[in-house]
Amino acid sequence: MADQAFDLVIVGSGIGGLTAAITAKLEGLRPLLLEKTPLIGGSSALSGGVLWLPNNPLMARAGVADSREDALRYLANFVGPDDRWSAPARREAFLDNIAPMIAAMEGQGMKYRRCAGYSDYYDRLPGGHAAGRALEAELFDANRLGDWKAKFRGPSVSLPIRTSEGARMMRLGITLDGKTMAAKLAGRIAANKLTGRTVYGSGGALQGRMLELALKLGVDIWTEAALVDLDVRHRQVEGVHLTHEGRPMTVRATRGVLIAAAGFARNLRMRQTHQRAPISDDWTYASPGETGEALEAMMRAGAGTALMEEAWWTTSWIREGAEARQIIPELAKPHCILVDHAGQRIVNEANSYMEVGRACYARNPQAKAIPAWAILDARHRRRYFFGFQPPGGLPKAWVEKGWVKEDVTLEGLAAQCGVDPSGLLATVERFNGFCDTGVDEDYGRGKSAYNRYYADPTNKPNASLGPISEPPFWAVQLWPGDVGTCGGAIVDEHARVQRADGSVIEGLYATGNCTASLMGPNYVGAGQSIGVSGVFGYVAAKHAAR
């Protein structure tokens, strides 16, 4: 017998869960949002807070052209009609529900803005968009949450800066625009100290605003509420078994259960079972709650799965006794390459972080590329950020602790890293020739708008190519970390979970990183996973209401 009953029970408080809760409330349902940790926000709060939403209303308001047809054409570069996790009807449902979702959230007071210039990651492919299809939230003062501020998971970088401003900020050492952005950020920080505000950008702004909307609507939210299993009867999901603040409970769901939880990035057993070696749960940036129980519950209920071997890969700098760092914009800057232990380049370093991570795994069986090595020269360190270290040298402590290798010759650097010296020298010589002509004949680095997004606009003839020739030289060991797994339950265009045979598990919906990615093992634009998760949270709640 159930302890309580709600219309829609939502497991997980990331963007998919909060969007679904708000939508359900607007549809006249009584939703219950469950978060197993003490803090609301999920991995979405830790993220850049960007949503990839093609043909969205804010683009139209700004006079930026896009279309449903172009978006479908773009998606077709990455998935095919036989990919069950990305059936044509599911792709169309994603695109067709973007405008209604934004209208619903804006109607409640949500404040979005365009990430102007943040291009699709493959803007040169058919349907790609160089001007960008991404949105983000306006800066948000967490004090507006009142007592719930203490239960909100703040962003990983607690600065009052938007993700779209980050690329400008990283040009601090090379452009007036970068210096202006740094001064603006300093002004915001000073103003917040004077006024006592706690202003977040990125995922903190997105999820803080979404939580505020849910609270204003009176959504029931339980923290420390961990899913134990689904309540399945007669092949239909009728509710959930959980522990709430340590007490076992059963909650009935009259309209269905939506699993809007993350994947299994912090579950080493699942990662070793489903993913390629080498793998670790120490390399991830996912939220602490991403431990896979919700996905396993769906699998016990009969869910078909796909893409379990994949994650949202990102190059990670792992330092013993210190916080790990994602190294992404740094690789797009001139005077830097990524090599394997044979000294060979692996990939277009300025491409999608997902592509860089997959390239490391693809190369690893032939020539060790896990970890790979980022090779930098003195100009990279003089002009650009590295791991939040401003332009300038590198701290001596980093070298002393072995976090960074340093040498006045490339041969000496290679020896320190265990990289083949002759291979590295040949690679650098070839790469430096590309820098002279401005054309990367091996990987095409610098051709796309996305390649140039984090590059150096003052560097000619190619904003992303600069020779590695000025000592001292540095090397940094990079691992294929991730911001979450991206394989899981297969869902249809209504976000309903399907069995392996394609039949629907009645009463069970899913969205987010616990589902198989709509774009397969590809990351096609900034905020792809968050955008898809939010839209299908909206879709699930609308379907449950019907």
The per-residue DSSP string of 221-240 comes to: EESSEEEEEEEEETTEEEEE
pLDDT tens digit string along 112-128? 999 999 999 999 999 99
Do 1-159+201-257+528-546 and 313-482 agree at the fold level?
Answer: no
pTM of the model: 0.96
Q: How far apart (Å, rounded) are the C-alpha atoms in residues 121 and 132?
A: 9
Contact 277, 365 (CB under 8 A): no
Name the fold adopted by 313-482: Flavocytochrome C3; Chain A, domain 1 (3.90.700)
Domain positions in the chain: 1-159+201-257+528-546, 160-200, 313-482
386 CB-contact burial (10 Å; exposed 0-12 / middle 13-18 / buried 19+):
buried
CA atoms within 13 A on the CB side of 52: 22
Task: Quickly tell me which residue has 């990279």 as its tokens.
Answer: 380
**Rounded mean pLDDT of 20-48?**
96
Domain range 1-159+201-257+528-546, CATH class = alpha beta
Q: How far apart (Å, rounded) are the C-alpha atoms in residues 312 and 306?
A: 15
pLDDT tens digit string along 78-88? 999 889 999 99
pLDDT tens digit string along 305-361? 999 999 999 999 998 888 788 999 999 999 999 999 999 999 999 999 999 999 999
pLDDT at 27: 98
User: H/E element holding 111?
Assistant: none
pLDDT at 1: 67
pLDDT at 155: 79
Nearest Cα residue to 116 out of 56, 69, 174: 56
Higher-scoring residue by pLDDT: 285, 71? 71
**Rounded mean pLDDT of 434-458?**
97
Q: Which bin fits 489, alpha (ψ -120 to 50), beta or left (φ > 0)?
A: beta
The per-residue DSSP string of 281-329 comes to: SSSB-S-TT-SSHHHHHHHHTTB-EE-TT-EEEEEEE--TTS--EE--H
No. of H helices and E strands in the chain?
19, 21
Token pair of 518 as six digits: 């709509």
Asked if the model's pLDDT at residue 156 lies above 80, the reply is no
Asked if the model's pLDDT at residue 392 lies above 90, the reply is no
Asked if the model's pLDDT at residue 17 lies above 80, the reply is yes
pLDDT at 393: 77
Asked if the model's pLDDT at residue 525 lies above 80, the reply is yes
Amino acid identity at 103: A
Q: How far apart (Å, rounded) are the C-alpha atoms in residues 311 and 79?
A: 17
Q: How far apart (Å, rounded) are the C-alpha atoms in residues 349 and 356?
A: 7
Percent of the chain residues past pLDDT 70, beyond the cut: 100
